[in-house]
Amino acid sequence: MNEGMPAFYGDLFEQSSLIYLGLWATIKLTVVISITGFLLGIVIFFLGLNANATVRRLVEGYKSFFIGTPLVCIIYILYYGLPALGLRLSPFEVLVLGFTLNVGAYNAGYLLTAYNGLDKSQLEAAVAQGFKSLQVYAYIILPQLLKSSTPALTNQVIYNLKDSSIAFLVQYPEFFARMQELAAGNFDFFRAYLFAAIVYLILTTVIFLFAQYIERRNHWPGRR
């Protein structure tokens, strides 16, 4: 090994396949929870519009609970608590469940904000034309909400990526866990975490550019 070169680079090269797997695990987790969180958000939001006041109150309670509690806490509850109830899930399953419940609550909130800004007379116009409420939701409400909340929803994907770095706490071998191992091996914490930060930055930039592309494609004049 070259005398002048820090051990960090040699270790990085040596462990590159593990780090690569870690990166892949991070991306996999981010993609899965972004999709499941997105779908759950739509369902929660929809239930929040229910005519039944009890349903609406339950939805409010759900959102307050998951927005008001730290994600780590929820994941620990699932990771350590569920086995006690006889339900043993893999770290990946625990993470998907915990993240989905949390991200779904946030996404439902973004959709509700967009819904509040919607011109409601359109919904009545659709009802007057003979659409069922589910059709009004599918053809009028949802397309407009998805377009106007694209920035918030894609921001959430960036949060998902960054928050996935807590997955090491439940022994999920993702990118950040690999970088910690690397740093622990040669004590070059500065380089290891700077490297990790740069990799996260590159990934969030990709997400950001993708979001901009979607937003441009979805633009329509006079959008609210």
Please say which residue, 21 or 146, places its beta carbon nearer to other proteins.
146
Q: Output the DSSP codes for 60-110.
A: HHHHHHHHHS-HHHHHHIIIIIGGGGT----HHHHHHHHHHHHHHHHHHHH
Residue span 80-119 as binding mask against other proteins, x where in contact by CB under 8 A, dash where not: ---------------------------------------x
Interface residue with other proteins among 5, 85, 128, 134 (CB under 8 A) is 128
Number of residues that bind other proteins (CB under 8 A): 23
Please say which residue, 110 or 168, places its beta carbon nearer to other proteins.
110
Please say which residue, 57 or 132, places its beta carbon nearer to other proteins.
132
Residue span 136-175 as binding mask against other proteins, x where in contact by CB under 8 A, dash where not: ---xx--xx--x----------------------------
User: Per CB under 8 A, which of residues 13..52 are in contact with other proteins?
Assistant: none
Please say which residue, 135 or 186, places its beta carbon nearer to other proteins.
135
Whole-angstrom distance, CA of residue 23 vs CA of residue 13: 15
Indicate whether 129 belongs to the interface with other proteins (CB under 8 A): yes
In contact, 82 and 98? CB cutoff 8 Å: no
Q: Phi/psi zone of residue 131: left (φ > 0), alpha (ψ -120 to 50 degrees), beta? A: beta
Indicate whether 56 belongs to the interface with other proteins (CB under 8 A): no
| Whole-number Cα distances in Å, 202 to 36, 86, 126, 157, 206 | 23, 41, 44, 14, 6
User: Which H/E stretch holds residue 205?
Assistant: helix 189-218
Interface residue with other proteins among 76, 92, 131, 189 (CB under 8 A) is 131
- Looking at residue 214, its amino acid is I
Interface residue with other proteins among 52, 54, 121, 217 (CB under 8 A) is 121
User: Which H/E stretch holds residue 210?
Assistant: helix 189-218
Indicate whether 53 belongs to the interface with other proteins (CB under 8 A): no
Residue 179: which of 196, 201, 199 has the closest Cα?
196
Indicate whether 221 belongs to the interface with other proteins (CB under 8 A): yes
Q: How many residues does the chain have?
A: 224
Tell me how far, at minimum, the Cβ of 222 lies from other proteins, in Å.
2
Give the footprint of other proteins on this chain (CB under 8 A): 119, 121-122, 124-132, 135, 139-140, 143-144, 147, 220-224
